[in-house]
Chains A and B, each alone.
Chain A
Amino acid sequence: FMEPRPPTPSSLPSKLTVNFVLPYAAELSKAEVDMVIVPATTGQMGILPGHVPTIAELKPGLLSVHEGNDVKKYFISSGFAFVHSNSYADILAVEAVPLDRIDPAQVQKGLSEFTQKLNSASTDLDKAEAQIGVDVHSALNSALTG
């Protein structure tokens, strides 16, 4: 019932085939694009056709899909990106929202709230949760302003 994996072509394909999926919907399914830039934990990573097979853990940040002159940007909360040798990229995210759906006031409020929590946190777990809050809100902030 499952489709077999598309074979690795002998010459470099011109397009990257992207499957960008969320737990509740497939945002992109076998979309042929020129490039995607994903927010990996090691930094923004650009994926072009012919990219070396990679598994990357994603951090909260901006994902951009480049097709010709269009760029579609999404903010993702976390996830993974898999690049296969046949120039297929699978991007799995838990939450992905287009930037215009983010409320900047809430982001600022969250950022100051969590920065405060980080300063007053006592246990390791509280500190970790507050740090996550600060990271996510600062990433949201820079996605909105950058």
Chain B
Amino acid sequence: MASTAAVPFWRSAGMTYITYSNICANLVRNCLKEPYKSEAISREKVHFSVTKWADGKPQKPTIRSDSPEE
């Protein structure tokens, strides 16, 4: 019995649900009135460091951030 569930357009374009959901949330946040808009945007800012490992040793970490680095 073949699965007949219709694939959503974003899934067939190669996007995952989480990407879709985040895009929707960002669009809604951009349509808010002040001060709610700046509250929402500052609430969702992220700042983190990613370290890839190879041969059991950490490589140089990369920092990903929404806040401008001085």
- Chain A residues at the B interface, C-beta cutoff of 8 Å: 24, 41, 60, 75, 77-79, 94-95, 97, 101-103, 106-107, 110, 124-125, 127-129, 131-133, 136-137, 140
16 A-B pairs besides A78-B24, A124-B13 with CB distance below 8 A are A60-B24, A77-B25, A77-B27, A77-B28, A78-B21, A79-B21, A95-B29, A106-B31, A125-B14, A125-B15, A128-B13, A128-B15, A129-B23, A136-B24, A137-B31, A140-B28
When A24-B43, A125-B14, A131-B9 are in contact, do A136 and B27 touch as well, CB less than 8 Å?
yes
The distance in angstroms between the C-alpha atoms of A115 and B44, with both chains bound, is: 27
CB <8 Å contact, A97 and B28: yes
Q: Which of B9, B12, B13 counts the most chain A CB atoms within 10 A?
A: B13
